[in-house]
């Protein structure tokens, strides 16, 4: 029947959205891996994505807005946008470490110096989405409220947690990378001096 066809169409549409979401996360991760020349460091930034998605869903829940296909498009955009803050933070911290600064100090200084541009960028995105959430449905009956709220909630939670979560995960994954390096050094070059964190 028509109801069954509608259900099949909706299921197919959701499957495509989930695949697109997974693909966008993988592509963003690979790009960061190339930029940072590391496999583990991008993990510290990609972890902001789930927090941003949770923030997006909480905003929808608190406003009583139903998640629709337009809202899922907002989630897809969020994956690419929310990692920008983490990239800016970690890139600056890495440059400070290359200049000889100790890791914790580099992270603290990066958070201090990059807080303002990160906050302003997030705020402009959030303010820019407000008209979408207040606008009425278009002539075709499509509402962009879920799209706007998804980006507002995701950007707000993602930005706040970038400054808290990213440095913590960066430290953990950097230690893991160091441990792997030292283990490989001891296995393949028993006489080699173990690497130490700057």
- Sequential DSSP letters for 29-90: HHHHHHHHT-SSHHHHHHTHHHHHHHHHHHHHHHHTPPP-HHHHHHHHHHHHHHHHHHHHHH
Q: Is the pLDDT of residue 143 over 80?
A: no
194 burial via Cβ count (<10 Å: 0-12, 13-18, 19+): exposed
At residue 69, the pLDDT reads 82
Q: Is the pLDDT of residue 151 over 80?
A: yes
Q: Is the pLDDT of residue 145 over 90?
A: no
Q: Is the pLDDT of residue 106 over 80?
A: yes
Asked whether the beta carbons of 122 and 155 are under 8 A apart, the reply is yes
Summarised one tens digit per residue, pLDDT across range 108-120 is 999 999 889 888 9
Q: What is the mean pLDDT of the chain?
A: 85
Summarised one tens digit per residue, pLDDT across range 46-96 is 888 888 999 999 999 998 888 888 888 889 889 888 888 888 899 999 999
% of the chain surpassing 70 pLDDT: 91
Q: Is the pTM of this model over 0.95?
A: no
Q: How many CA atoms lie within 13 A of 18 on its CB side?
A: 6
């Amino acid at each position: 029947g028509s109801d069954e066809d509608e259900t099949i169409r909706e299921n197919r549409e959701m499957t495509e959205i989930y695949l697109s979401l997974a693909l966008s996360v993988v592509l963003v991760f690979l790009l960061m891996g190339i930029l940072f020349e590391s496999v583990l460091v991008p993990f510290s930034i990609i972890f902001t994505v789930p927090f941003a998605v949770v923030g997006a869903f909480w905003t929808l829940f608190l406003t009583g807005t139903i998640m629709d296909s337009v809202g899922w498009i907002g989630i897809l955009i969020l994956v690419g946008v929310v990692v920008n803050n983490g990239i800016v933070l970690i890139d600056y911290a890495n440059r400070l470490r290359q200049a000889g600064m100790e890791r914790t100090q580099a992270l603290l200084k990066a958070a201090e110096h990059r807080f303002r541009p990160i906050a302003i960028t997030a705020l402009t995105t959030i303010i820019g989405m407000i008209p979408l959430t207040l606008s009425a449905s278009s002539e075709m009956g499509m509402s962009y409220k879920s799209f706007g709220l998804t980006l507002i909630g995701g950007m707000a939670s993602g930005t706040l947690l970038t400054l808290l979560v990213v440095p913590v995960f960066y430290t953990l994954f950097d230690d893991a990378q160091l441990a792997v390096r030292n283990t490989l050094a001891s296995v393949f070059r028993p006489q080699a001096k173990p690497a130490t964190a700057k």
